Amino acid sequence: MSKAAVKVSYRNVEADGVKVFYREAGAAGKPVVLLLHGYPTSSHMFRHLIPELAADYHVIAPDLPGFGFTEVPVDRGYKYSFAAIAKTIEAFVDVLELEKFAIYIFDYGAPTGLRLALTHPERVTAIISQNGNAYEEGLGDAWNPIQKYWQDPSEANRNALREFLTLEGTKWQYVHGEPNPESVAPESYTLDQALLDRPGNNEIQLDLFLDYASNVKLYPAFQKYFRENQPPLLAVWGKNDVFFIPPGAEAYKKDIPGAVVKFLDAGHFALESHGEEIAAEIKAFLGKVL
């Protein structure tokens, strides 16, 4: 199947009282790859990767609650936290009857996917971590303002983070550390910002900044899962990322000696500029382990 011939479907399904939007491609009988995006993006970040993988895999990419085109009804009374997001994605996986799947984890997708793995280790066939962190040594200095908010969740510290929510802050995450910023499509950060700017969404994102501390507290549990289950793992990493720095990729080898670690001359959103290289690494890796 050529990339040009790949048909991507855009669907919605109700899971956990949430209308989850997702992209899907590839034959249903193929091994499943679940793509989990991060902040401040959506499944749109996988728009080029999905056709690359769909010939060999059944590829599914949901929008997490609070992001993209996933809709959370007001009367659902949703409390935005990473535990809640993981619960919704677990329900999404159950509704689609996905018994086993590899996970691609990026940024917020890492604690989401790894919480799934803690709950159902038997379901996860492999992990691809693209700047998806699970170790304290992987947290770069760019986290300092957010860590200050964790230590003192005052209104002043909350408001200090609002610059992250602006178009300038969103674009910066895409282009910082990217040697060739012209390779980053402007519709990527422009779409992200349009969705971030929906009424009430800024407060959701600030709540999630605060709750990210709950993921750091789970790092020892994630690491125990790695040691006990030894999932096949590929860490393919933009080495210039100031949020999730290279030691976080190398750290996987402490708990999974067979982990494959590859660095790219890219920033946080390495998939934007190095999509073909990342796709090739994923296909080579999954071809060996699945």
Q: Which residues are catalytic?
A: 268
**How far apart are the C-alpha atoms of 249 and 238, rounded to whole Å?**
10
Within a 10 A sphere around the Cβ of 158, how many other Cβ atoms? 16
Count the alpha carbons within 13 Å of 139 in the hemisphere toward its beta carbon. 13
CA-CA-CA-CA dihedral for 95, 99, 104, 107, to nearest 10: 50
What b/e sequence results for 114-147 when a residue is b if at least 16 CB atoms lie within 10 Å of its CB, and e otherwise? Answer: bbbbbeeeebbbbbbbbbbbbbeebbbebbeebe
How do beta strands 18-25 and 101-105 pair? unpaired
Q: Which token pair is 182?
A: 């012209």
**How far apart are the C-alpha atoms of 290 and 53, rounded to whole Å?**
14
Going from the C-alpha of 223 to that of each of 142, 230, 237, the distances in angstroms are 23, 10, 19
**How far apart are the C-alpha atoms of 176 and 189, rounded to whole Å?**
13
The letter for the amino acid at 62 is P
